[in-house]
Chains A and B, each alone.
Chain A
């Protein structure tokens, strides 16, 4: 910490406020507007700087993060708590009626609703399919990119691109990709069958389309994590193994894999949580159809809350999901840690 910040007391900073005001007033009175704008801006910035510098010198980190905390509270923490409160009241966001206390009514309703269980099953199916596809493809890509070959850097950037695209862009892209009349998939199938192919019209096709799009977007993420593990294996271990005449298969399982395992578990956790919330791609590609065959729980929550405006019910459902994810995550971490220790 630089000592220069603590050379002045706090009253200097406070004194700078009226000084800045006076200077600004004088500037506005006597100078043309285009000049006084910059003068008053500069003196107020300097005054603010004195406060920040003082806080910095006094290790008053709290003061410095206060704006961020305030923003976080307004935008995030408060709405979270508020919606939690609403889940215990009768309330619809499109009516003016004040909330009436409902107790656990909505929780009971959600948990006994067969539709919810159906949507959860759809979600589970999606999660299993997309996460396992991502893990396999991501792992294979990482194995590939752990080697050195020409154009590796360029290809790596290309492979990482989907992850950085916005969901809407990916959704729009795959919509065109699956489009029956001129989409690439349909045209490719037409070469063989002579008929346009509508992938998203069957439940299985729609599921496959969504899973493929999601895996396309997120396999690079798994690859990045696995690659980090692969490149962290010290080279001398492979050299020692080759002198010990160890087969490639055994080398992979006892040297490489242990370095990747914990990262693989982490990737699995991240991707499962994310896939559980699968919304964007589904909404953009199928909107849950055909029928409700691809309507994940996240899409269902959206419908309940913003199409049927059952605000309390959707809040209750959302909190049940949050609770489920937290419990599952902690169980997973508990078993993962236990396994690592032994």
Chain B
């Protein structure tokens, strides 16, 4: 029977196997239960996962147990995990290797065959959800007859659709029937696409995923007592949320829930990634079908999805970039070279400066001093920081003691003398080179020669800022993204003078601030803004040439970017965007066109291209229409998409050639963490390879 999976097993010859360890247990009543522990033998830093060899071992173990059940030797089987984990889900590095459809089908089928044993073992099966249980891990639990969950079980969920798959080991079939279609859609669609939200043990219990909830301190003991009570008929399990879509009203609830989820995902993705839509399709088709029939649909869907670029890109983005590269930045000097930062100075007390000060004090718990030209601005900055701390306390994110401590650590001054004992001073003043040069000259006059000077500039030359410094080796670009508290990316830019100790300190500080740090050379706009501005410049140009606004703004919809170009423009603010574009134009020439129309809008004080009409429909802002002058050479949406793809391939190719970043992976990670670009594009360069832009423009692909 395992013949068909031999090739699959060999494909993952180096899999870290999660073993199926069994122990025979006599419960207090005398009932015989076999407790199966899923354990990869490694500590809690290495979650147990499900690869083909793991599934084959589980399958053969369960097969043997079903034989013992048939022989009347055992009364029940329970399955649990090593401490802190039931199972973290499918082994993504294994799934990544399932390139041909045969292997993908085999893997999908193997999961079903294994889990079906749990669903029909001949004796009741119990999942004791002791810890993290995601994707295929939670589907193991769903296959069992009963479930208990630990109050501290951490993350539970079905994140597959976010990772380019569907919960296709029957999760998509069993969950809605267990907890109702509305809640199931939240778990299957809404949560994964809401910052990958997961459920706590208590939430899972409330939804009806588990039949009992116990403290972690005696979780297994209580769970086995539960099993004993169920087996001896002393406990009746009721599932008020469980439904059967054979009932017409229930079937209608399934349809409605799917429609709602569809509306949610349309708003998020606009159809740009296939997985959540495939999930909805299988969910809908499952209505009125048996589990075995649904399984065939699930296997077909998984096979299809595993063959898509979107899936491969997502795994690349999630596993290789966010999980690995994001945690171990490429090009960061040894952390041993980092110097301690015991006091931070922030030049400026405006919104950006205040956000920076707030982040520093929250994450570093060291004194932070903000300065500005007059006391009223300083007071306003401090009031903003205090207000944000109070909000965090109100939300329960910070205790009153922690808020008190943070407030006591933040101070303000109108004199830069306050920086005299700081180890790190960052400026967030107006984006004007001479202003920043002046600021650094003043700061350098009071600080030690070791104190790191950092700039949060988004488009100016760090090198030029350092030209007149006595100690330019301690100057570094330290570029955050708005909103500072939310966006994970930090671009760290060094000049020809910046020494390795300064860069190491910047990376160590970035890590302490819990940011994803990427090293960039000192080139105008560094990484993210250069890519974004090139994109916006092309769309703006197409508009200026005569393309109607709607076509221009929606031309990139197939990419599934988080917002349209004109929406982004409005969010950044037209004057700021224009200012940065001018800097880029000065640095790189005509690739970054300064739009006359944008200038008209700025001059007319129009802030938005789009407004909503009374029906809530997006409409061109008449004020904008009044000042805009378009050409007579419109482009089609397809032409604009192609133009943008080619422009991005060109720009990123140039960035690599200029040494702005070490590898295309850095651009991809930057676009994901700094601009929220989707994982199904792999950031951007895998997508550019797949649509042929890389070869069209650069003559070769970015990858392989």
Real binding pair: no
